[in-house]
Amino acid sequence: MHIIFIIILIIILLGLIYLPNIWLTRTLNKYELPNDKFPGTGGQFATHLLTRLHIEDVTVEQTDKGDHYDPVSRCVRLSPKYHNEKSLTAIVVAAHEVGHAIQHKSKYGLFKLRTVLAIAANITEKTGVFILMLMPIITMISRSPTLGLITTLSAIAFMAIGLTVHLITLPVEWDASFNRALPILQAGEYLDEEDYPAANKILKAAAFTYVAGALTSILNFSRWMAVLRR
């Protein structure tokens, strides 16, 4: 019975991690067929929105590293199929990424916090794991339980920064979709009325892009906490 429970728990956790990405991909692919009713590509639409909103210091580029807004270089980056094509998905994803540029310009608190933490998280999360791996050696050499405890707490603090970034990302993405992008699409009447149900699905998918990453981070953090309790 105990083994069955563990298997079920593993299946549930794997589902939580991988199903959001499967749903995201299916949703975006469903509405990315080229459609000439849109006057411009996703890249052109992003440029138009930035000009209309007087965000002159942000550029638009094509990228192979996934759709995102880079607050450091102040650039909206879109994958080739959204940057160069005319489709509902291209238009809505472009609006979502411009939503992040709006957050940046308006100094949205959670966006500012995520940006600062994200810069540090790439280093600190790996550093935390490395310190935890070294902890038994440090404790053995120093023969000091106090130093071992300090090392452990430091590692946990480093790893917690990465976890915090993932948790903050979820409301930031939701805000970019439904408090920034959707009102712009509606106010500018860029979409036909029958397109909005699909646009809502795309915006929801875009907002949940990082759910899998957040769940994976939480799972890894919990695993290390379980190891430390032994």
pLDDT tens across 5-18, in order? 667 766 766 666 67
- List C-alpha distances in Å: 150 to 100, 132, 156, 221, 226: 38, 11, 10, 18, 18
Rg (CA), the chain: 21
Q: What is the pTM of this model?
A: 0.77
- List C-alpha distances in Å: 132 to 83, 216, 221, 223: 42, 18, 12, 12
Highest averaged pLDDT of the listed ranges 33-37, 105-109, 142-146, 163-167: 105-109
pLDDT greater at residue 107 or residue 152? 107
Enter the tokens of residue 103.
Answer: 């957050």
Domains of the chain, by residue range, sit at: 2-229
pLDDT digits (tens, 9 = 90+) for 125-150: 666 666 666 666 666 676 666 666 66
Query: What span, in angstroms and rounded, lies between the C-alpha atoms of 88 and 77?
Result: 17
Count of C-beta atoms within a 10 Å radius of residue 39:
11
